Amino acid sequence: MKRGQPSLKRPLIVKPLIFQLATLLIACTFFMALALRMDSGGLYTDEAITPVIARAIVRDQDGGLSIRETPELTELRDQSPDLWFVAENDAGQNVTSGDIPSQYASLLGRLQDLSYAHLRDRNPPYRLSAVIRREIAPAGTLTILGHGKLTGVSLVVLLASNVIVIPIFLALALISLLVTPWIVRQALAGVSRIAREAEQIDASTRGRRLSEEHVPSEIAPLVRAVNDALRRLDEGYEQQRRFIASAAHELRTPIAILRLKIDTATEPATRKLSADVARLSNLAEQMLDIQRLDAERADESVDLGALARHVAADLAPLLLHRRAR
């Protein structure tokens, strides 16, 4: 491809990629903003508290659960003075810390049936906002129900937590960069085919046309226009060839008569025209030779009677002139 010629790569690959990524980004932003607007609940409890609580739960001498005051847990209590939590193992043993709201009393002994939940309080100070998570602790697998540091929902939080967005972006990029070129090549395979057909057309293979069978419908009008142009060129060339052949053939008889008259003339001025007449005769023969060389070499039926009449018509003037002498 010559430099400066437009390529289909940009409009068919790059532009769709940009459009897909922009559409995905706008859609994600829209739905996240819509979720923020529709969210009428209270604040969330930060999930980061459950790993800290789990690392502070150990087994006591009796095999029960107890709380070990770790530096992390102390820092968590300083950050959230109203911290409360319940840690329960699969055997139903539990340990509590802080003032557990009475609304959650019915969950004690049943937390092992839960794995993950966010509970929100609709009214300040949001003491009922809590999180339920399954954690691996030194005392084994625990289900923790806790309330601590509160956080609100924001667009930044949604974007950061929605980890599926990045794989979707990557999948779209790979599809556009790897699959789309293959699809484009398959779709334009017919164009490459007619390009090879066009390279085989020359002056000796007139009458050929480009195939429209495997061409995309968007390019078919161009192929038909090229075929129409080839047809008009063939018709014009055929008219020109017939004219040259007819003119050369029709000139042979008057040139032959003129040469005969000059050869039999006695005037010196008339006989000087012999060289000019020879050049005319040679030119007519060359035109016929061109027509013969250009004619397609193919077997065809010949009407010998018509050919004999045609030859007799050409020779009759010569015979009549010779008899007149």
Looking up residue 120, the CATH number of its domain turns out to be 3.30.450
Q: Looking at the domain assignment, is residue 62 inside a domain?
A: yes
Q: Are residues 27 and 170 in the same domain?
A: yes
Q: Are residues 23 and 51 in the same domain?
A: no
145 pLDDT above the threshold of 90: yes
Q: What does residue 242 show for φ and ψ, rounded to 5 degrees?
A: -65, -40
* pLDDT tier, 146 (very low <50, low <70, confident <90, very high otherwise): very high
**Mean pLDDT, rounded, for 242-248:** 75
Confidence (pLDDT) at 190: 75
Q: Are residues 325 and 240 in the same domain?
A: yes
Q: Are residues 162 and 35 in the same domain?
A: yes
Q: Are residues 119 and 80 in the same domain?
A: yes
Q: Are residues 252 and 281 in the same domain?
A: yes
Q: Looking at the domain assignment, is residue 87 inside a domain?
A: yes
Q: Which residue has the higher pLDDT, 317 or 96?
A: 96
What span, in angstroms and rounded, lies between the C-alpha atoms of 144 and 96?
10
Q: Looking at the domain assignment, is residue 196 inside a domain?
A: no
Q: Looking at the domain assignment, is residue 197 inside a domain?
A: no
Burial code of 65-94, b = ≥16 C-beta within 10 A, e = fewer? Answer: bebeeeeebeebbeebeebbbbbbbeeebb
What span, in angstroms and rounded, lies between the C-alpha atoms of 317 and 314?
7
Confidence (pLDDT) at 6: 60
* pLDDT tier, 9 (very low <50, low <70, confident <90, very high otherwise): low
Q: What is the mean pLDDT of the chain?
A: 77
* pLDDT tier, 323 (very low <50, low <70, confident <90, very high otherwise): low
Tell me if 135 sits within 8 A of 65, measured CB to CB: no
Confidence (pLDDT) at 72: 92
Q: Are residues 324 and 207 in the same domain?
A: yes
Q: Which residue has the higher pLDDT, 91 or 214?
A: 91
Among 110, 113, 108, 98, which residue's Cα sits nearest to residue 45? 98
What span, in angstroms and rounded, lies between the C-alpha atoms of 49 and 55?
10
Q: Looking at the domain assignment, is residue 193 inside a domain?
A: no
Structure tokens at 213: 């069978």
Structural domain boundaries enclosing 54: 44-152
Say if residue 143 is exposed, middle or buried (CB neighbours under 10 Å; 0-12, 13-18, 19+).
buried
What span, in angstroms and rounded, lies between the C-alpha atoms of 53 and 118?
17
Q: Which tens digit of pLDDT belongs to each residue from 153-198? A: 554 455 555 556 667 767 776 776 777 777 777 777 777 787 787 7
Tell me if 153 sits within 8 A of 44, measured CB to CB: yes
Q: Are residues 122 and 105 in the same domain?
A: yes
Q: Are residues 269 and 136 in the same domain?
A: no
50 pLDDT above the threshold of 70: yes
Confidence (pLDDT) at 159: 53
**Mean pLDDT, rounded, for 33-50:** 70
Cα-based torsion angle of the residue sequence 294, 298, 299, 300 in order, rounded to the nearest 10 degrees: -60
Q: Looking at the domain assignment, is residue 301 inside a domain?
A: no
What are the angstrom distances between the C-alpha of 283 and each of 39, 41, 291?
Answer: 97, 103, 13
The amino acid occupying position 60 is D
Q: Are residues 66 and 144 in the same domain?
A: yes
How many structural domains does the chain have?
3
Q: Looking at the domain assignment, is residue 315 inside a domain?
A: yes
What are the angstrom distances between the C-alpha of 113 and each of 103, 108, 116, 134, 144?
Answer: 18, 11, 10, 10, 12
**Mean pLDDT, rounded, for 34-57:** 77
Percent of the chain past pLDDT 90, that is, above it, reads: 11
Q: Are residues 168 and 98 in the same domain?
A: no
Q: Looking at the domain assignment, is residue 190 inside a domain?
A: no
Tell me if 54 sits within 8 A of 87, measured CB to CB: yes
Structure tokens at 140: 């084994």
Q: Are residues 241 and 266 in the same domain?
A: yes
Confidence (pLDDT) at 292: 67
Confidence (pLDDT) at 205: 67
What are the angstrom distances between the C-alpha of 241 and each of 246, 248, 291, 303?
Answer: 9, 11, 7, 21
Question: Looking at residue 276, which CATH number applies to its domain?
Answer: 1.10.287
What span, in angstroms and rounded, lies between the C-alpha atoms of 57 and 262?
134
3 pLDDT above the threshold of 60: no
278 pLDDT above the threshold of 90: no
**Type and span of the H or E element at 142:** strand 140-147
What are the angstrom distances between the C-alpha of 168 and each of 10, 17, 19, 30, 163?
Answer: 22, 12, 14, 16, 9
